[in-house]
Structures are given as structure tokens and as C-alpha cells.
Amino acid sequence: MFGENLKIALRALWANKLRSILTTLGIIIGVASVIAVVSLVQGMEHGIATELEGVGATYIRVMPDMEDQRQQLNPKVPSLTYEDGEAVLRGAPEISAFTPIMFRQATLQYRDSRHTSTLLGIGESYQDVVNHWVDRGRFFTPLDLAEKKRVATIGSEAVRKLGIEGDPIGKAIRVEGNAYTIVGVMEKKGQMFGQDQDDLVLIPFTTSAAIYGQDAVRSIIIDFQAASPDSTDLAREQITEVLRVRHGLKKGEEDDFRIILQEEILEAVSKTLTMTSLIMAAVVGIALLVGGIGIMNIMLVSVTERTREIGVRKAVGARRQDVLQQFLIEAITLSGLGGVIGIALGVGLANGIRQLLTRWITFPAVHTPLWAVALSFGFCAALGIIFGIYPAAKASKLDPIDALRYE
């Protein structure tokens, strides 16, 4: 009986193709929008998770905490220095390495080409801690840092934007007017949190301190590497203990620094993106509601048009539940087909948006989870049941004699 009703439903929909398409348009648009948003957001989350996993589960970042200072009338910049990093390395057994990081926007120049890029003053353990390695050439040696040499490793995007042709190793560039020799090109990392990780230039931390002064390196970021992934929580406690003593913080005083673990960054990003998906889904749900009302409206019209057919079916022995099942299956089929089309369009729309965005930024691959497909299709089927039950019930209650007389 179910198979026969499904065939009847498909024939009825095919007989009124345009009307069926227009009826399901709201559902198609709603489902396509939900699938596109979820696919893009999940792709971003998957890409960011991959990037953070690439850094390593032992990665710990410590930065000055400005939150409490902003609330004061005369705020002071919390200090975090290279010496703090050395103290932590000595006093925290669960820390195996660290690198100071001085951030600065700088103008690069190669011959007549100029480009604004990110300048990082870093330590010799940068590659191990951040898991970002030299692709060509070499990295800084202890001698480079000890003698404050003006050498630089540069990102591939910065090389491209400066128009450096051929092998950049050994060529001279100017960074804010200071001459540096390129000794290495960093491996490609792509974009993360909207920032191009390949558009940068790295110089020894000691060189940056000598050029920009001690004030520039008095409030820096320090990245640490824990001894093992299982010891990151203990490492955090040891870092906190050492830094509180060095900064002279008394019991009850708030920390003037923030410690961020890799898993905390991933959790925060995941929460933000999930909330974005839920808000978008709630907005798009209005379109699905409108689509469901459209299905109920068209099913009521269908019941009216097929009143004589219902009368004939009842006259030859069809029970009330048989008629109810027939029109309910038709409503679910109509809604389900709209869902299938919407899912296909949503995946295509997400890929199209990604291709468009990749012209300007590096956007991660689209990821459409099975739960989103199953949820969308299930929701469409539920819409068919909810908005199809009233027209189906109305059809099943028709009196066969009155139905046969209907014109």
C-alpha cells in the first residue's frame, strides 16, 4: 500500500510540475541556505583545527593581560620579557623550550618594490615551539643571536609581493630602512584567523631589541613548548607560579598575564563558529516555516481538486486511514524532494562561495557533515507531516456520496 501511495504521489507531483516546484521553493531555499552555512562554517572549523594540531598539543602561549589595566584611570602596560621566558625555562620542569615573539608591522623594500608585512623578532627555538620550519636556506644560529646579526628569514607571500625573482637566498632587503640579508624562506602555512601566515619576515630577537630599543621588547608574547601533551596543565601551573613571583604579585592579586593552551584556542573557535551556525539556522528556519505553510496550502487545493477521486476510492472500499495515508505520503514526498534538491544546491552553493572567496583569501575546503544532511532531510520530512496532516485528515473525512457529487 505504501509503494502504491508513493507512486500516486509522484504521478500527482509530476502532473503539476511547476506548481510543485513553486510550492517547495521555500523549503529548497531554506535547506540550501542551512547546508551552505553549515558546510562553510564546518570547513573553517576543520581547517583551523588542522592548523592548531599542526602547531602541536604541547604549544602554550603567554601574553600580557591588558583586561584589568583598561579599567583603571592610569593603566600601565604589563611587562613580559625575554628574561621571564628564561626564568620559566629554568624554574618549570615541564617546559622544554621557549621563544620570545615581538610583533610589529613593518615596511619592506626590495629595489623599487615596497610592501607592508608582519615583522617578528624571535628566538632560535621558534621552529620547534611553533612547528614552522624553513623550507629553503637556513634558520638563525646561536651566533646570529649572540652577535645581533641583521639576517632574516622571509615568508613566500612576502617574497612574491616584493617581486623577488629567482632564489631569494643571499639577497638584501630593507626593513623600515634597515638592511637585512635573506638567509631562508619559511615553509607555506596559508591563512589562519584571517591572517596570512606566509606574509611575514623573521629577524633574531636580539637584533630587534638592538634596533627598536628595550621598550619595544618589554611587553612581548612568549610561546612555550611543554615536555609532553599530557603535562600541559602542570606546565601552566608552573608558568603561573614562576611569573607571579617574578612580577611581584601578592596573594589575591590578579595575574597580569594570560596563558592560552592549544585546546583552549580550538574550543573558543569551535564555540564561536557553532553559535554562528545556530543563529544562521534560526534565521533560515523562517524560510522553512514559510515553505511548510506553502505545502499545507497546496495540499488543501489538491484535496479540493481531487474530491471526486476520493469519493471513488471510498466507494470501492478505501478506508479512512487509506485516504489519510495517501495524502500524507504525498505531502512528505513533496517536502522530501524539496529537501533533497535543497541539500544538493546547498553543497554547490558552499563550494561556489569558497571558490569566490579564494580569489582574495585562502579559504579551507568545504566540509558537509552527514549530521547536517540527515537533520535537514529529517526536518523536511517532519514539515511534510506537520503541515500535511490537516489536509490529509480533511480528505479522509469526506463523505463518499458528497464527494462523488462534487463538481
pLDDT recorded at residue 17: 76
Q: Helical H runs in 165-220?
A: 205-212
Domain membership of residue 318 (yes or no) is yes
239 and 328 in a single domain? The answer is no
Q: Identify the residue whose cell numbers are 622544554.
A: 96
Give 48's contacts (C-beta < 8 A, 6+ positions apart). Answer: 192, 193, 266, 269, 364
State the average pLDDT over residues 144-160: 95
Average pLDDT of the chain? 84
The lowest-confidence range among 49-58, 241-250, 252-261 is 49-58
Domain limit, last residue, from 220, 255, 290:
255
- What number of other Cβ atoms are within 10 A of residue 331's Cβ? 27
The grid coordinates listed for 8 are 500516486
Q: Which residue has the cell 564561536?
A: 272
* Domain co-membership, 110 together with 145: yes
Residue at which a domain ends, from 255, 281, 308: 255
Is pLDDT of 67 > 70?
Answer: no
DSSP state of 251: T
pTM comes to 0.66
pLDDT for res 403: 65
Q: How far apart are CA 207 and CA 327, in angstroms?
A: 78
pLDDT digits (tens, 9 = 90+) for 189-198: 877 655 778 9
pLDDT of residue 4: 67
Top pLDDT among 101 and 29 is at 101
Same domain, residue pair 251 and 313: no
Domain annotation covers residue 68:
no
Same domain, 365 and 279: yes
Domain stop point among 225, 255, 285: 255
Predicted local distance difference test score (pLDDT) of residue 94:
93
Residues 294 and 229 in one domain: no
Which domain covers residue 207, as residue numbers? 79-255
Are residues 275 and 222 part of one domain? no
Copy the grid coordinates of residue 33: 541556505
Q: Give the least confident one: 11-15, 159-163, 208-212, 366-370.
A: 11-15
* 73: pLDDT strictly greater than 50: no
**Higher local confidence (pLDDT), 77 or 139:** 139
Domain match, 290 and 399 both: yes
Please count the structural domains in the chain: 2
Least confident of 28-42, 117-131, 246-260, 293-307: 293-307
Least confident among 66-75, 123-132, 146-155 = 66-75
Cα 162 versus chain centre, distance: 30
Question: pLDDT tens, 308-333?
Answer: 777 777 777 777 777 777 778 878 88
Of 300 and 73, the structure prediction assigns the larger pLDDT to 300
At 53 the pLDDT is: 65
Query: Do 222 and 277 sit in the same domain of this protein?
Result: no
CB 159 within 8 A of CB 169: no
Average pLDDT on 288-302 reads 78
Is the pLDDT score of 145 beyond 50? Answer: yes
The pLDDT-based confidence of 77 (bands split at 50, 70, 90) is low
Mean pLDDT of 290-303: 78
- 44 plus 129 within the same structural domain: no
State the average pLDDT over residues 20-33. Answer: 82
